[in-house]
Amino acid sequence: MDADVIVVGAGPTGLMLAGELRLAGVDVAIVERRAGQDLTGSRSRGLHSRTIEVLDQRGIADRFLSEGQVAQVAGFAGTRLDISGFPTRHPYGLALLQKDFERILAGWVDELHVPIHRERDVTGFVQDATGVDVQLSDGTSLRADYLVGCDGGRSVVRKAAGIEFPGWEPTTSTLIAEVHLAEEPQWGVHDDALGRHAFSKLEGGLVGVLVTERHVGHTSEPTLRDLSEALVAVWGTDYGVHSPTSLTRFTDMARQAATYRAGRVLLAGDAAHVHYPVGGQGLNTGVQDAVNLGWKLAQVVNGTSPDSLLDTYHAERHPVAARVLRNTIAQVALLRANDYVKTLGDIITELLTIEEPRRRFAAMISGLDIRYDLGEGHPLLGRRMPDLDLVTANGPLRVFALLHQAKPVLLNFGETGKLDITPWTQRVQLFDAQHAGEWKLPGLGQVKHLLRGDEIDLCRPLPHQQDLVRGQHVSRGFLPESHGGIEIGTRQAMFEFASLGQKPKQIRPGEGRWTRHGCASDGLAGNFGRAAAMLAAARRANAAMVIVGFAVPQVGNVLAPAMYRLGWSCERQSGSTTESAASKPIRHVPMICPAPE
């Protein structure tokens, strides 16, 4: 193998992914068509709050903050949304051109000694059961365990993988340029029946130009003549435009990859989703794709987790980008300059002056409200961890400071020294900590702290779910309080812990509250936090395995990734059928999960 992972594209997404992988000890290399990191034009103009948080989690946020301008950048269809009161350490955005963002990020990646194969294009690849052979434009090839396409909206990797790219065709086309003008233009933003147009002053005498074209469907790269004709069509003059330093065309085409994974090939950033740049969400979504994929891919490459963990990348990130496409399409519609649409836009603007809608939309655009669907459970489930101020034996610490090396962290807010993670010490950091303040999340408000494992109420499964399936055999039994074991159950799933050297016993929930016995409320199957507490309890009890019997097969699709992340490798068994209290057949689909060594 030439590398564990080959990343195609040294843009924001590719650089972030490479850094994440390298922090996790993965041998990663980048293939990039450009000779250097220089980028013509401004493209993206800033970062949203959640992206700044992600950079803070790696200890590099200050590098960007020192070169950009802190500002309130969130907005919806031209209405500014102030997040200065949001409960985050970074209640703002950052005005920073993409070329500067890439330069700073590339410096961090260089410090991590990630090789970049420049002035090369990927021309194709062939994958097999053990890796991917990647053909390059210079006639050479590279082999890796996995290939990730971060090569933009026209992604060669996506096309070669045969991944469909469905969506909406463009209805409008816009030119954006940095040029010199011989005549003074009408500065500012202007809307007419054709669309939006703007002139802005840039450094060095340059003028930023944005102009909507009369026609859609251009297939070639834009030229100075195209820009001149578009200006004349709107203003009656091209203002003597000359000497462009950058000139690009973008449309409101909105497309998303049907799947983010095809075997050993994955997609991230613009290779997976493209949309109109309103709201400035593209770069930010790509960087967050990279962070979500990075640790999972590292877990698989390093042999910590099974290959199936990579499926959770699509499951979590595809809905996020789908939502971005949805809100950008809506914003484009509201920006159309006709009286009917303007009336609707005025109503939306008025609506966004009301606290609740304003807070929700601001959290959406800034990325602070993202929640991965891991099932029902605690309000924090699937959401970003707040950057709490912790009190530890080593003094005060921030949560984000614990994440600088991209190594998993387990925080124990309960009794000091109670959690034993001996089997995981090489890959998980355990911190006993206290936090006296409130837990608040943008768009959600204050949330209650997670319950400790010995304080969780027992629950009562439905009568037909009180049989725990082990293989294809349904047995009955009862575990008294005096057994001293672990009890876990939900209306959807039951767990059996077999202590080493003992015959497995079936566990059935009782009544009331049992000290040091755990039973989560409905939705444990998707509740990663509580699942972690319960599995830790199983380890303390010297459990040899966990047997999970599902009355709802889909539950396994949610629970299995959570258990994989905790080091429990589960194997699904064949099911058996029993009769419910309503005399309806219930299909039980058990999983047997041996304890980690």
pLDDT (0 to 100) of residue 436: 76
| pLDDT per residue as tens digits for the range 389-419 | 999 888 999 999 999 999 999 999 888 888 8
Please, which residues have CB within 8 angstroms of residue 219's CB and are 6 or more apart in sequence? none
Give strand ranges (E) for 519-594.
543-550, 571-572, 576-579, 585-594
Beta bridge partners of 411: 431
Same-domain status, 10 and 119: yes
**pLDDT higher than 70, residue 463:** no
As a whole number, the mean pLDDT across the chain is 80
User: What pLDDT digit, counting tens, does each position of 60-119 carry?
Assistant: 999 999 999 999 999 998 899 999 999 999 999 999 999 999 999 999 999 999 999 999
Domain presence at residue 96: yes
One domain for residues 194 and 336: no
The HSE-up count of residue 196 (CA atoms within 13 Å, CB side) is 18
pLDDT score recorded for residue 12: 96
> C-alpha distances in angstroms, 480 versus 461, 477, 484, 506, 575?
17, 10, 8, 11, 28
The answer to whether 426 touches 84, Cβ cutoff 8 Å, is no
User: Based on the domain organization, do 359 and 393 belong to the same domain?
Assistant: no
Q: Residues 328, 185: one domain?
A: no
Of 249, 267, 290, the position where a domain reaches its end is 249
pLDDT over 70 at 565, yes or no? no
Question: Does the residue 350 lie in any domain?
Answer: yes
Is 82:362 a contact under the CB 8 Å cutoff? Answer: yes
Q: In degrees, to the nearest 5, what angle opens at C-alpha 129 toward C-alphas 128 and 135?
A: 25
Given a cut of 60, whether residue 545 has pLDDT beyond it is no
On whether residue 323 sits in a domain, the answer given is: yes
pLDDT(505) > 50: no
Is residue 354 domain-resident? yes
Residue 374 lies in a domain: no
In terms of domains, do 570 and 585 share one?
Answer: yes
Rounded CA separation 249/202 (Å): 19
pLDDT at 502: 32
Q: Tell me whether strands 473-475 and 196-201 are parallel, antiparallel or unpaired.
A: unpaired
Q: What is the CATH number of the domain that holds 55?
A: 3.50.50.60
- Please calculate the CA angle 152-154-157 and round it to the nearest 5 degrees: 80
Residue whose token pair is 């876990």: 488
Domain of 232?
172-249
The reported pLDDT for the residue numbered 521 is: 29
**Domain end point (choices 220, 249, 278):** 249
How confident is the model over 254-277, as a mean pLDDT?
A: 96
Q: Considering the entire predicted model, what is its pTM? A: 0.76
Q: By three-state DSSP, how is residue 345 classified?
A: helix
Q: Residue 457 pLDDT more than 60? A: no
500 with 357, same domain?
no
Indicate if 261 and 120 belong to the same structural domain.
yes
Both 91 and 156 in one domain: the answer is yes
383 part of a folded domain:
no
Q: Which pair of structure tokens corresponds to residue 63?
A: 């590098």
- Per-residue pLDDT tens digits for 199-247: 999 888 999 999 999 999 887 889 999 999 999 999 999 999 999 998 9
- Examine the fold and report which residue of 184, 219, 249 is the final residue of a domain before the chain moves on: 249
- Determine what percent of the chain is predicted with pLDDT higher than 90: 55
